[in-house]
Amino acid sequence: MTFGFAPASAAASTSAASANRLLEPAEWAAAGIPLLRNPREVVSGLHARHHPQPATAVVAVLDPDERLQASASFVRRQAPADGWMFRNALLAQLRRVIPHDLRRRTPVRTAVLLYCREGDARWTEEDGAWMWGLRDACTLHGLRCGAYITLTRDGWQVLGEGRGGRRPHSASPPEPFATSEAPPPLPRTGGAASEILRRAAAAR
């Protein structure tokens, strides 16, 4: 597993990284983040639903089958990257769109974060702050911490997994909703009750 690093004006010290509450790529890779079975479908679905522009974060909650349960998007405030601030912003959005799972012994739902930003796909300290914020927000809301995905002009990338694609990207038009977000089919029934319902519908 490899990571790229964006050039910085000065190397951040360990104390500075701790103060800003960010996760280094090695820490993220060692955290046991569950892999997405179909990351492109997740990315395309969130892109179609929220149309993110640069500086937009999209947090989504997936069920065990990776079906979208809830999602919210918001624009990042113009302030230095700090994981604690990002954690609070993500937690506020999660509390707004879905009940917590703190009563469960083991989390069953997973939160993922898609962040649309300028620059290339290489890891930055801002990404590290979002990673820290996502992990902490998930803990406080009773969720599993899932993938952190960047959306740039180069396309999308799941950091820590080495998976990505060229579309969608930060300037592409929304794609059709992913199949995972399509409404579930009506239940199939049979027998006399089904025939009665069919006749009643036809008579309307």
Interval 165-189: pLDDT, tens: 999 999 988 766 544 444 444 434 4
Report whether 151 contacts 187 (CB < 8 A): no
Q: In the structure encoding, which two tokens stand for residue 25, read together? A: 């790529």
pTM recorded for the entire structure: 0.77
pLDDT classification of 161: cutoffs 50, 70, 90: confident
3-class DSSP string for 2-71: CCCECCCCCCCCHHHHHHHCCCCHHHHHCCCCCCCCCHHHHHHHHHHHHCCCCCEEEEEEECCCCCEEEE
pLDDT at residue 176, as a whole number: 60
Q: In the structure encoding, which two tokens stand for residue 100, read together? A: 């917590």
How many angstroms separate the CA atoms of 71 and 112, rounded? 9
pLDDT at residue 160, as a whole number: 83
**Which has the closest alpha carbon to 143: 63, 203, 72?**
63
- List the domains of the chain with CATH numbers: 14-203 (3.40.140.10)
Task: Specify the higher pLDDT residue, 196 or 82.
Answer: 82
Q: What is the pLDDT of residues 115-146, one digit of tens each?
A: 999 998 899 999 999 999 999 999 999 999 99
Please report where in the chains the tokens 């399509």 appear, as a residue.
182
pLDDT classification of 12: cutoffs 50, 70, 90: very low
Three-class SS of residue 149?
strand
